[in-house]
């Protein structure tokens, strides 16, 4: 675990391959089991791809926030200005860095930027509802479970290959003001 404070910046096009690798390492395959955010028991296949990450990097209403520690890309998240609220997604922390507070710092920086840059009154995100440990982590950071769900995109391999037939997303919300 590294105790050096991360440096935050906005991702650039050259970061896309490293960002894809980071997101994949945090959620899929054996490497993801080194951390606690793995979805390997729920999904196989990919978590994201270069096209999806590049779309965020180039979207004028979005930011891919990057955290670097000792010059290495160690965490990231997607932020989107959705007019009055911000959307938080594609959150990944390198498995070797999980559990030491880096995720909490990235989330705090994302909330600060959404509030200050866009005047967002709240942050919204969707989390696979079967990820109770992850939802509990967000709740401890002030997010509220809404009970509002949306279906998992079964049949669209861009989001992975489900190992279960009951996956869905739950909307979590936090007031930023």
For the stretch 46-92, pLDDT in tens is: 899 999 999 999 999 999 999 999 999 999 999 999 998 999 999 99
DSSP state of 14: G
Tokens 């997101």, residue?
23
DSSP-derived 3-state class of residue 111? helix
Mean pLDDT rounded to a whole number for the chain: 93
Q: Residue 150 is encoded by which pair of tokens?
A: 């949306």
Q: Residue 151: its pLDDT value, please?
A: 96
Q: Helix or strand or coil: residue 69?
A: strand
User: Going by C-beta distance under 8 Å and a sequence separation of 6 or more, which residues neighbour residue 35?
Assistant: 26, 93, 94, 95, 96, 97, 98, 99
- Tens of pLDDT, residue by residue over 92-122, are 999 999 999 999 999 999 999 999 999 999 9
pTM above 0.85, yes or no: yes
């Amino acid at each position: 675990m590294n105790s050096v404070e991360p440096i935050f910046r906005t991702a650039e096009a050259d970061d896309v391959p490293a960002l894809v690798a980071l997101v994949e390492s945090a959620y899929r395959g054996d490497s993801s089991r080194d951390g606690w955010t793995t979805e390997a028991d729920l999904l196989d296949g990919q978590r994201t791809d270069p096209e999806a990450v590049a779309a965020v990097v180039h979207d004028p209403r979005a930011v891919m926030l990057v955290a670097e520690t000792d010059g290495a890309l160690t965490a990231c998240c997607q932020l989107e200005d959705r007019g009055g609220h911000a959307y938080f997604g594609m959150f990944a922390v390198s498995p070797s860095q999980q559990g030491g507070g880096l995720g909490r710092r990235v989330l705090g920086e994302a909330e600060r930027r959404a509030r200050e840059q866009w005047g967002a009154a709240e942050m919204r995100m969707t989390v696979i509802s079967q990820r109770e440990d992850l939802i509990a982590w967000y709740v401890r950071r002030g997010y509220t479970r809404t009970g509002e769900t949306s279906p998992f995109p079964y049949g669209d391999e861009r989001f992975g290959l489900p190992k279960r037939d009951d996956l869905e997303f739950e909307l979590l919300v936090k007031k930023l003001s």
